[in-house]
A and B are shown apart, each in its own frame.
Chain A
Amino acid sequence: DTAVSQTPKYLVTQMGNDKSIKCEQNLGHDTMYWYKQDSKKFLKIMFSYNNKELIINETVPNRFSPKSPDKAHLNLHINSLELGDSAVYFCASTLAGSYEQYFGPGTRLTVT
């Protein structure tokens, strides 16, 4: 069983479009994250949700909007895509107090 899953795995789209990435975890965790990994492999946290409540919101353009319908899901919607949004986006989850994060396989977003 996949612990943290993301869909889609690959996403190719044009500038100006709006797209969503979905994440689901079946680990019973209560905290979920979105990370962006750029072409140089640098990992930067974007958002964190705990029990559907936003607790970390790093400086990212407001074109990015996370949504957590329940503890097991955290989606990322991106409006008006730009070339610089091309990256691999990782979802992760953890149980508060465990300090260990489990990562999804990533979504490679390419904006043309």
Chain B
Amino acid sequence: AQSVTQLGSHVSVSEGALVLLRCNYSSSVPPYLFWYVQYPNQGLQLLLKYTTGATLVKGINGFEAEFKKSETSFHLTKPSAHMSDAAEYFCAVSGAANTGNQFYFGTGTSLTVIP
């Protein structure tokens, strides 16, 4: 069974400050991990993903995330927040093909950037 927990349904940061969005997962198989962003009234856009290999993955718009197996975490970071980063962020885990590539999403974190 797989699940995702996103700590903090709302996060506020000042423009230029570090962004840290937390994601912890549970998975009975090697996980594939994803971060998606949803801008207001839009669909979900892939920010980055971890499947295998390097545990620090870089995504679009300056975001990155690190897979830490020992902590079962996949936190999303960005060194300096921009106003345009204000959106809803979803962490997701996927397992093996026999689950139909089923994604399990976290409950989302709404990021507010304060000017």
Contacts and interface: CB of A to CB of B under 8 A. Distances in A.
Given A42-B108, A50-B100, A100 B49 contact: yes
Interface of B: 32, 34, 36, 38, 42-46, 49, 51, 88, 90, 94, 97, 100-103, 105, 107-108, 110
Contacts of B88: 41
Contacts of A56: 100, 102
A55 B88 CA distance: 29
A50 B101 CA distance: 10
Nearest to B51: A99
Contacts of A104: 43
Contact of B97 (A4, A96, A103): A96
Given A41-B108, A99-B49, A100-B49, A106 B43 contact: yes
B57 to A, nearest CB: 12
B100 A41 contact: no
5 contacts: A43-B105, A45-B103, A48-B100, A48-B102, A99-B51
Contact of B43 (A48, A100, A105): A105
Q: How large is the interface on A (under 10, 10 to 19, 20 to 34, 35 or more residues)?
A: 20 to 34
The 10 A-B pairs at the shortest CB distance, nearest first, are namely A103-B44, A43-B105, A103-B43, A105-B43, A55-B100, A99-B32, A41-B108, A56-B100, A48-B100, A99-B94
Contacts of A4: 43
Given A31-B100, A48-B100, A55-B100, A100 B46 contact: yes
B46 to A, nearest CB: 6
Contacts of B51: 99
Given A42-B105, A99-B51, A103-B36, 14 more contacts: A4-B43, A41-B88, A41-B108, A41-B110, A42-B107, A48-B102, A97-B97, A97-B101, A99-B94, A101-B101, A102-B46, A103-B43, A103-B45, A104-B43
B65 to A, nearest CB: 15
A90 B90 CA distance: 14
A39 B94 CA distance: 24
Contacts of A75: none
